[in-house]
Amino acid sequence: MGGGRERVLRLAWLLSLGSPVTAGYAAFVGTSVVLVADLVRSVSESVAILLSWLSYRAVQRRPEPVDGSYVRSLYGRVGLAIAVVMWISAGLIAVGAIASLRDPQHVANVWAGVLVSAGGVVYNLWFWRRYLLIAQQDGPALFASQWRFYRAKAVVNATVLVSLIASSVLSSHAWSAYIDVAGSFAVAAFLLVSGAGSAGHALADMR
């Protein structure tokens, strides 16, 4: 059972490697602050997923039995590292969004971003369901945090998608340029809240 769960984590990380590539392409061809924010988010999430897989792998590969305190401590340290990565990413996105407030631009060529965001919603919903099933089968606490993580990822992908569509549809209005900036702040807020949740669970595990 542990091997099957590790394969799910490994698959999630391997697939996450494509996210910065697709998000980077969408940000390159499109004119949108929220797409740049989504690129930063995808990189930080790929790092977070990698750390989750490596921590579970480290526990499963130990030759001697491990006690619960060691596992909780390890997952706790990983959770704190993930929180720091998310907070740094949120700070970078917020700085970019604040700078864009001085001269907000209307979005253009965001078709790639729309496709990437829509695909991200489907992808994250699938892993959300997969991790939820594992957690319900008395899987380690790591998997409970993963299904919450992917649920939040699906929500923020949907937020980016709505932001891009709204900015494009309402582009004839001058104020619509601020929709893109608002989407960036929403992504930054998501990372801040997710990081706080990760840190909270991590500190609880380390007690």
* Residue found under tokens 């829509």: 118
- Whether residue 146 contacts residue 55, with contact meaning beta carbons closer than 8 Å, is answered with no
- Whether residue 183 contacts residue 163, with contact meaning beta carbons closer than 8 Å, is answered with yes
Give phi and psi for 192, each to the nearest 5. -65, -50
- Whether residue 185 contacts residue 101, with contact meaning beta carbons closer than 8 Å, is answered with no
pLDDT tens for the chain, 207 residues long, are 556 888 999 999 999 999 999 999 999 998 888 899 889 889 988 988 898 899 888 888 876 766 777 777 887 888 888 888 888 888 888 988 898 888 888 888 899 999 999 999 999 999 999 999 988 887 677 787 788 888 888 888 998 999 999 999 998 888 988 999 999 998 889 888 888 887 887 787 777
Residue 101: count other Cβ atoms within 10 Å of its Cβ. Answer: 13
- Select from 48, 145, 59 the least CA-distant residue to 90: 48
- Whether residue 177 contacts residue 76, with contact meaning beta carbons closer than 8 Å, is answered with no
C-alpha distances out from residue 148 to 11, 92, 103, Å: 18, 24, 36
C-alpha distances out from residue 126 to 10, 178, 187, 191, Å: 15, 32, 21, 21
pLDDT, position 75:
79
DSSP string, 57-106: HHHHH-SS---HHHHHHHHHHHHHHHHHHHHHHHHHHHHHHHHHTTS---
- Whether residue 66 contacts residue 59, with contact meaning beta carbons closer than 8 Å, is answered with yes
Give phi and psi for 201, each to the nearest 5. -65, -35
Q: What is the pTM of this model?
A: 0.85
pLDDT, position 117:
94
Compute the distance between CA of residue 190 and CA of residue 183 in angstroms, rounded to an integer.
11
pLDDT, position 101:
87
* Residue found under tokens 């004839």: 172
